[in-house]
Amino acid sequence: MEIKKFSFRGKAKNETTLVDFLSEVTPLSKSLIKKHANNGGVWIKRRGRGPLNRIRRVKTVLTSEDYIECHYDPNLPEVDMELVQQIHETKEWGVWYKPAGVLTEGTKYGDQASLIRHIEKNKPHAYPIQRLDRETSGLMVVAYKEKVSRIFNSATKKGLITKFFQAEVLGCPRSSEGEISFNIDGKSAKTTYKVHEELELSTLIEIKMETSRFHQARQHFAKIKHPIIGDPKYGRHNKNDDGLKLVAYKVELKDPISKKDHLFVLPDELRLF
């Protein structure tokens, strides 16, 4: 029988293991349930209270008060995680390279193709300080403790962490440098840019993120009629076969713990220019 995408939500039976319960209420075999749970697609709310958490141990004994969700998609793409790189490491935080195609965090269907899950295989916890879209490659700051995450998030709001991107946009902006200010989701958003090189039909630019909103660079450049090349969501006539031409290539930050200034830049082979 072909197993298609589905989501199951419901209360568990008393004194049964997770694998036995899901094998009864879903079309998945026990071996597939084990693999799927390990990949992060099974969730539990203990005694029906608190947040949903991923549950990977299929021999966990359930009670009738436990609430279970199983989200399964057989068409999730396989992602090469070998391209993930650690750029900088401390005990409390690190800087990582996320390739295009790798999620920052997982979805309800699984987290096996995410940067955070990759890090958590060797760290107790991982908290992204900023997120990159699946299609975007580049540098990410990740905290390894919740307290450190809160400190970094506060530093981000104070402008102590600055992100720079390289992009290729359709056409050529009128000015060699400029500022784009359009609200996103009702919140102020500001992006500044400098032209690096004009090509025949497109332009290479450096972008500084003055704020951090959802798809900010992608939305802003589409708004001024110069969408980023390869963007699958925003813009027209900007599609290509090589993916999104947007790379988070540089991060400036003051370590809020040690107070040291840091500058992290991607190696040449991982940049656009």
pLDDT in tens, 142-163: 999 999 999 999 998 888 899 9
In a domain, 265, yes or no: no
pLDDT in tens, 22-72: 999 999 999 999 999 999 999 999 988 889 999 999 999 999 999 999 999
Number of domains in the chain: 3
- Regarding whether 154 and 167 lie in a shared domain, the answer is no
- Regarding whether 56 and 132 lie in a shared domain, the answer is no
What residue numbers bound the domain in which 135 lies?
81-160
Tokens of 273: 């220019």
What letter does residue 131 receive in the DSSP assignment? -
User: Could you tell me the CATH number of the domain that includes residue 66?
Assistant: 3.10.290.10
Domain stops at, among 72, 95, 122 = 72
In a domain, 36, yes or no: yes
Angle at 167 between CA 161 and CA 169, to 5 degrees: 140
DSSP string of 222-259? HHTT-PBTT-SSS-SS---TT---EEEEEEEEE-TTT-
What's the pLDDT at 195?
A: 98
User: Could you tell me the CATH number of the domain that includes residue 100?
Assistant: 3.30.70.580
In a domain, 260, yes or no: no
Q: Which residues pair with 205 in a beta bridge?
A: 167, 195
Domain stops at, among 160, 178, 194 = 160
Q: 109-114 long-range contacts, Cβ below 8 Å, gap at least 24? A: 109/41, 109/71, 109/72, 109/73, 109/76, 110/36, 110/39, 110/40, 110/41, 110/71, 110/73, 110/76, 111/39, 111/40, 111/54, 112/38, 112/39, 112/40, 112/79, 113/76, 113/77, 113/78, 113/79, 113/81
In a domain, 108, yes or no: yes
Q: What b/e string do you get for 142-180 counting C-beta neighbours within 10 Å, with b at 16 or more? A: bbbbeebbebbbebbeeeebebbbbbbbbebbeeeeeeb
- Regarding whether 145 and 103 lie in a shared domain, the answer is yes
In a domain, 268, yes or no: no
Question: What tens-digit pLDDT sequence spans the chain (273 residues)?
Answer: 678 999 999 999 888 999 999 999 999 999 999 999 999 999 999 988 889 999 999 999 999 999 999 999 999 888 889 999 999 999 999 999 999 999 999 999 999 999 999 999 999 999 999 999 999 999 999 999 999 999 999 998 888 899 999 999 999 999 999 999 999 999 999 999 999 999 999 999 999 999 999 999 999 999 999 999 999 999 889 998 889 999 999 999 988 889 999 999 999 999 999
How far is Cα 83 from Cα 187, in angstroms, rounded to an integer? 35
- Regarding whether 242 and 183 lie in a shared domain, the answer is yes
What's the pLDDT at 71?
A: 98
What's the pLDDT at 1?
A: 63
User: Could you tell me the CATH number of the domain that includes residue 209?
Assistant: 3.30.2350.10
